[in-house]
Amino acid sequence: MPLYEKLKNIDRRVIYIFIALSVIIPLVFKIAFTEQASPIVQNIFDKIESLPEGSRVILSYDYSPSTAPEIQPMADALTRHILEKDLRLYNMALWAPGHNIATETTDRIIIAEFPEKVYGEDYLNLGFKAGNEFLIAVILTDLKKMYTTDAKGTDIDSIPMMQGVKNLRNFDLILSLGGGKPGLKEWILFAGDPGHIPVAGGATAVSAPNLYPYYPEQMLGLMGGMKGGAEYESALMKIYPQYKNKSHPGIDLMGPQAIAHLVIMIFVIIGNITYFIARKRGEER
């Protein structure tokens, strides 16, 4: 059988094996590339850098474990940056599993790397509340209508960080990480636009193209997929070199990502070549 025929009738499982190898080999041998923050990611970094000490930042965990490989690097990097700048971090979740992810991030990043930070004074977990975009619409005018306690059940009025907080307008920045609904888009539509509050965040790569139209007027920045997370990590390490020695899963996993994309592109080119050969031979229209 000529090469053309073999390529034309290639078994899909052969492609799967190539894809698997293109991921496994860079993972095992730790092949990584340098990342440079693009303007849309750098904007988020610059905004956090520009906020004065004690500014209030919401970090909403609007995702589940299924998309964690893409989103978690962003959550880790943002948490580090916010606390490094001595801003006040308010974790919350519009998705039920987001609460557990926020708790896990707190244990792994805040408690392990920022032991001097005090819960209730420097960071807070408001937990998950049902209601989706309707929840955002309510807390835009009255936060305490929905949040009477934090995630641990502590009365909201007894928490130092909640003094002077009436609604979303009292926050300096809203960051949403997710990709599904509700997510970043709902934060823009129901909080950012009507409340004139800066909104930014990260989303799964598959949903990122739908969010680009909101940049830069309605959304000040966006991290799209694993690449966005890796770019933010690189921006963070550039200004705070101490994080070079910490985990940076976004950058680490972009190596396999780049190699796998290369393999996919090769197969796309092969597919196109066989298609045009077939068309020339009059086999297909």
Partner 1 sequence: METGFTLSNTIAAILTIGIISFLWKDNPLYKLCESLFVGVSAGYWFVSLYYQNLLPKLFDTLGLTQLFTSADIEPGAIQILINEGRVDNSFLYLIAGILGALMLTRLIPNLGWISRWPLAFIVGTTSGLYFTTYFQSNAMAQLRSTILPLDSIGNVVIVIGTVCGLVYFYFSKEHKGVMGGAARVGVWFLMITFGASFGYTVMSRMSLLIGRFDFIFSTWLGLTG
The binding site for partner 1 (CB under 8 A) comprises 13, 16, 19-20, 23-24, 27-28, 30, 66-70, 96, 128-130, 133-134, 137, 188-190, 193-194, 204-206, 208-209, 213, 217-218, 224-227, 249, 253, 256-257, 260-261, 264
Q: Is 157 exposed, middle or buried (0-12, 13-18, 19+ CB in 10 A)?
A: exposed
The closest of 50, 86, 20 to 200, measured between CA atoms, is: 50
Q: In whole angstroms, how close is the CB of 155 to partner 1 at the nearest point?
A: 12
Cβ distance to partner 1 smaller for residue 77 or 188: 188
Q: In whole angstroms, how far apart are CA 231 and each of 51, 60, 74, 253? A: 20, 20, 9, 12
Tokens matching residue 16: 């799967």
Neighbouring C-beta atoms of residue 266, cutoff 10 Å? 12
For partner 1, the closer of residues 55 and 97 by Cβ is 97
Order of all β-strands in the sheet with 222-224: 123-128, 88-93, 56-61, 173-178, 199-203, 222-224
Query: Residue 83 Cβ, how far from partner 1 at the closest point, in Å?
Result: 21
**Closer to partner 1 by Cβ: residue 72 or 274:** 72
Amino acid identity for residue 10 in this structure: I
Tokens linked to 34: 């340098």
Closest contact distance (angstroms) between CB of 59 and partner 1 is 20
Q: Return the number of the residue (234 or 257) whose C-beta is nearest partner 1.
A: 257
What's the closest the beta carbon of residue 252 comes to partner 1, in angstroms?
8
Shortest gap between Cβ of 246 and partner 1 (angstroms)?
A: 16
SS3 percent helix, strand, coil of the chain, rounded to 5, is 60, 10, 30
For residue 119, give the DSSP letter. B
Q: Tell the smallest beta-carbon distance from residue 250 to partner 1 (Å).
A: 10
* Closer Cβ to partner 1, 76 or 122, answer by number: 76
Residue 93 contacts residue 62 (beta carbons within 8 Å): yes
Cβ closest to partner 1, residue 4 vs residue 33 = 33
Neighbours of 113 (CB within 10 A): 17
Residue type, 2: P
212 vs 276 by CB, closer to partner 1 = 212
C-beta of 46 vs 193, nearer to partner 1: 193
Q: State the minimum distance, in angstroms, from the CB of residue 75 to partner 1.
A: 14
CA 232 to chain centre: 10
CB of 70 to partner 1, least distance (A): 4
CB-based contacts of 48: which residues, under 8 Å, 6+ apart? Answer: 57, 78, 81, 82, 85, 87, 173
